[in-house]
Structure 1
Amino acid sequence: MKILIIGAGALGGYFGARLAHAGQDVTFLLRPRRAQHIAAHGLVVESPAFGNLTIPAPQVVSRESLAAAPTHYDAILVGCKAYDLDDTMDAFASAVGPTTMIVPLLNGMVHLDRLASRFAPDNVLGGFCLISAALDDAGRVQHLNDTHQLVFGERDGRMSERVLALQACFDDAVCDAIASPRILSQMWEKWVQIATAAGMTCLMRASIGTIVSSGGSAFANALFDECAAVAADAGAALSAESAARIRAVICNPDSAVTASMMKDLERGARVEADHLIGALIRARDAARGSATQRDGGGALALLDLVLLHLQSYERRFLQ
């Protein structure tokens, strides 16, 4: 199976390196600067939990060379930020054939429609990953936790031959790749968890543990309830088990976790405010038949307060 990895940052670099190390036919679509760095130093992954590795000379293609000599790939892993998706689709468009599987690893859900509109619905799988990773100043992928899960599947829940074939590509790779028959429900679960964690840590500018130990459990649970209600209105109600698991994460007084959005915000970078929070609010208002920012008691809904905070940051620092 020919696999194209979009970028070699934290996500693409980690999972692409694991696949390449397992002997799979992997190519990285890179910008010139990253391509030059990897040509000089290799693709380096450092993982205390699962071992370090270096791919000395991975296969690399640029958007220009791909456009000049189009090659259709069997699978494309896309892990860009939502605000970069249009440009990213332009970059890999020449790699998409009639049977290509596009596996998006973005948070949220609305990117699925954007991908299906640009290409074809059958090209687009559901997908997400559970990993904490980042590039360090030397361009190495740093794996920061003990989880490296990649989940994907047909959006209609079929366990198709192509999805099983993609899962088989990971058999010898040091990561957990799972073909799922309920990928959309799982994407909703992750969206709820990420939106809650991002909302609370960005709004309070603190880790989950600091917020909770400062008396913020009720706030965390109330924000979770708002997010979970949107999922339920969309037909993706969380199970009692999933809800309990997420509540345990967001109410852990010992947690040092901060959402990646907060890290972006604190370094003055662009954030996925509209894709992660704005889209959730639009889904809420569409289900209720009206756009309101206030609950029955007249208080501003927490989701709207989070979005207001993030949009104010964008207006102040990024415009």
Structure 2
Amino acid sequence: MRILVVGAGAVGGYFGGRLLEKGEDVTFLVRAARAEKLARDGLTIHSPAAGDFHHDAPATVTTAHVKPEYDLVLLSCKAYDLEQAIEDIAPAIGPQTTILPLLNGMKHLQHLDERFGAERVLGGQCVIAATVDAEGIVRHLNASHGLTYGERDGSESARIAAITRAMEGAKFDQRASRQILQDMWDKWVFLATLAGMTCLMRASVGDIARAPGGRETMLAFLETCRGVAHAAGHAPHEAAMARTLAMLTDESSSLTASMLRDLEGGKAVEADHVVGDMLSRVANGVDATVVRAAYAHLKAYEARRTS
């Protein structure tokens, strides 16, 4: 299987690197500067949990030279880069190419379907805490490194079986799911609440849970998101909701969203894709005061950042 990984940053660099470590045919679609750095320094993953990996010269290609010769495109960009990423991968999409997006939320599926056709686009998600440091090293920050994928209609297929064969044995947790859309909604309900609240409060889950009224505000945000998922036919299952509740109300937790870290670092944030799209789906008459406040806070930050 020929795999094109879009980008060699925290997510693409980690999962693509682990597939490369396993021996899969992996090429990274990167900008010229990143291609030059990878050619000079190689790709390095540092992971206390899963072990380090270095490849002296990973295969790279730039948008000017990419060809439609790949079986799988692993799309791991940020939502605010999706429009450009779609243009970048278009020349790589051949008759048998499958796209596996790992973006948060759901809105990206519509954009990918419109450009490439729904039959080419799988459902997918990943769970990982990683970053790229100033030297370009991919640093895995904890023990979580999971990737889930599946046909959006819940069926089994030859291409899912082929992807599973490619990923089995790589040093990350991989799972083919027969309910990938539900998995994506479960993550979105959790992530929208986590990102919205930690950004709005500029605080960790534990700090919010211990603050007067903090737990109640967190639960109000979560209930709005759960209601959106329910209206879409993807209400979180009892076990998923129990896990989410436990994580978002833990008074000892130092958990924050990566969006808060981006915001505090003056970087771009996925306000529209993670929080704004959730807010746009709230039914008329439903109290979404906290979600609306979080979204307004993020958009005000964006306005100030770009002014």
Would the TM-score normalized by the shorter structure come out above 0.5? Answer: yes
Q: Which residue of 1 aligns with 2:177?
A: 180
Counterpart-to-counterpart distance in 1, 2:280 and 2:137: 38
Q: Which residue of 2 aligns with 1:155?
A: 152
Task: Report deviation, 1:241.
Answer: 0.8
1:53-202 → structure 2 map (5 Å cutoff): 53-66=53-66, 70-202=67-199
1:105-133 deviation digits (Å, cap 9, x = unpaired): 10000100100101111110000001100
Q: Which residue of 2 aligns with 1:280?
A: 278
State whether residues 270 and 318 of structure 1, in contact with CA within 8 Å, keep that contact through their aligned partners in structure 2: no
TM (norm. structure 2) is: 0.97
SS at match of 1:117: helix
SS at match of 1:64: coil
Task: Report deviation, 1:240.
Answer: 1.1
Q: Which residue of 2 aligns with 1:314?
A: 302
Q: Which residue of 2 aligns with 1:231?
A: 229
Code of the residue aligned with 1:13 in structure 2: it is: G
Counterpart-to-counterpart distance in 1, 2:42 and 2:299: 38
Task: Report deviation, 1:281.
Answer: 1.3
Counterpart-to-counterpart distance in 2, 1:174 and 1:10: 15
1:11-33 deviation digits (Å, cap 9, x = unpaired): 00000000001000000001111
How many residue pairs get aligned? The number is 306
Counterpart-to-counterpart distance in 1, 2:155 and 2:94: 21
Q: Which residue of 2 aligns with 1:34?
A: 34
Counterpart-to-counterpart distance in 1, 2:277 and 2:89: 25
Task: Report deviation, 1:222.
Answer: 1.4
CA RMSD, Structure 1 to Structure 2 (Å): 1.2
Code of the residue aligned with 2:29 in structure 1: it is: L
SS at match of 2:188: helix
1:33-73 deviation digits (Å, cap 9, x = unpaired): 1111111111000000010000111111000011xxx2321
Residue identity over aligned pairs, in percent, reads 45
Counterpart-to-counterpart distance in 2, 1:83 and 1:202: 18
TM (norm. structure 1) is: 0.94
Q: Which residue of 1 aligns with 2:265?
A: 267
Q: Which residue of 2 aligns with 1:24?
A: 24
Task: Report deviation, 1:98.
Answer: 2.5
Counterpart-to-counterpart distance in 2, 1:84 and 1:104: 13
Counterpart-to-counterpart distance in 2, 1:20 and 1:230: 39
1:3 and 2:34 correspond: no
SS at match of 2:111: helix
Counterpart-to-counterpart distance in 2, 1:168 and 1:9: 24
Task: Report deviation, 1:210.
Answer: 1.4
Counterpart-to-counterpart distance in 2, 1:254 and 1:33: 42
More off after superposition, 209-218 vs 236-245: 209-218
Counterpart-to-counterpart distance in 1, 2:28 and 2:173: 20
Counterpart-to-counterpart distance in 2, 1:37 and 1:12: 16
Counterpart-to-counterpart distance in 2, 1:122 and 1:239: 27
Counterpart-to-counterpart distance in 1, 2:136 and 2:268: 20
1:118-177 deviation digits (Å, cap 9, x = unpaired): 111111000000110011111100101101100011110112111111011111211111
State whether residues 72 and 94 of structure 1, in contact with CA within 8 Å, keep that contact through their aligned partners in structure 2: no
State whether residues 98 and 123 of structure 1, in contact with CA within 8 Å, keep that contact through their aligned partners in structure 2: no
Code of the residue aligned with 2:218 in structure 1: it is: A
State whether residues 159 and 180 of structure 1, in contact with CA within 8 Å, keep that contact through their aligned partners in structure 2: no
